[in-house]
Amino acid sequence: MSSKVAKVRQVLAAFSSTLGAFGLGTTIAWTSPAIPHLDPDLCKDHCAVDGLSKADLGWIGAFMPLGAVVSGPITGYLLNTIGRRWTMIAYSAPLALGYILLTSVPLLEMGAFPLFFGRFLTGFAAASFALSAPTYIVEIAEPDLRGSLASLMQLMVTIGIAFVNALDIGLSWVPISSLCVVAPSKHFGFWTLNLPTL
């Protein structure tokens, strides 16, 4: 295999691994468009979910980092047992499931529970990419590409945050949540390519 082809494969692998970081960015920013549509003081009689208290709104924000705290030790264990690539593939499913659950909240009519659980799942899955993607990139990249490819992680987190905030201009949180399912779906799809395995 030529050096140029090897480098292209490394760039593709780095990009696809950082799609999870894009999901981390969307997860961080998700409350910005959602809370105004959930807070009874702001949405009055047009709330997406009825009966949420101020405490519920606080917990909606808090369940994301709680999921992230749980994710750290599990991700570390999985990285060493099933490998970097398969760990990222595995975490794509709960990230997508969390956003599907958040998208379905108005239909479920179950109060705050689906919001809590959806935020927990998205935080749990998205935070794993903060550990797994840089580890993977550093291990597959040649020294001359390592720094630039590793910087993709932070770039994709920032793009994810900007993506959600840009959509907030014209969309409510339900369609934004459904669009956030795209990143984990694409992440899983990219891994079907023949990319380096660690």
Concatenated DSSP letters of 125-177: HHHHHHHHHHHHHHHHS-HHHHHHHHTHHHHHHHHHHHHHHHHTTT--HHHHH
pLDDT at 63: 96
Q: What is the mean pLDDT of residues 141-170?
A: 90
Place of tokens 């709330």: 47
Least confidently predicted of 2-6, 111-115, 140-144, 145-149: 2-6
The secondary structure element, H or E, covering residue 1 is none
Whole-model pTM: value is 0.88
Least confidently predicted of 34-38, 59-63, 105-109, 158-162: 105-109
pLDDT at 2: 67
Q: What is the mean pLDDT of residues 148-168?
A: 91
Looking at the predicted structure, is the pLDDT value of residue 75 above 90? Answer: yes
Looking at the predicted structure, is the pLDDT value of residue 69 above 90? Answer: yes
Looking at the predicted structure, is the pLDDT value of residue 194 above 60? Answer: no
What b-and-e string marks burial along 4-26, b requiring 16 or more CB atoms within 10 Å of the CB? eeeeebbeebbebbbbbbbbbbb
- Write the CB contacts of 105 (distance below 8 Å, at least 6 apart in sequence): 48, 49, 114, 115, 118, 174
> What proportion of the chain, given as a percentage, has pLDDT over 70?
90
pLDDT at 82: 93
Looking at the predicted structure, is the pLDDT value of residue 185 above 80? Answer: no
pLDDT tens track for 95-127: 989 999 988 887 777 778 889 999 999 999 999
Distance CA 51, CA 150 (A): 44
Select from 3.40.109.10, 1.20.140.10, 3.90.1150.10, 1.20.1250.20 the CATH code of 54-190.
1.20.1250.20
What b-and-e string marks burial along 182-195, b requiring 16 or more CB atoms within 10 Å of the CB? bbbeebbebbeeeb
Among 144, 116, 189, 129, which residue's Cα sits nearest to residue 6? 144
Q: What is the mean pLDDT of the chain?
A: 86
Distance CA 51, CA 55 (A): 11
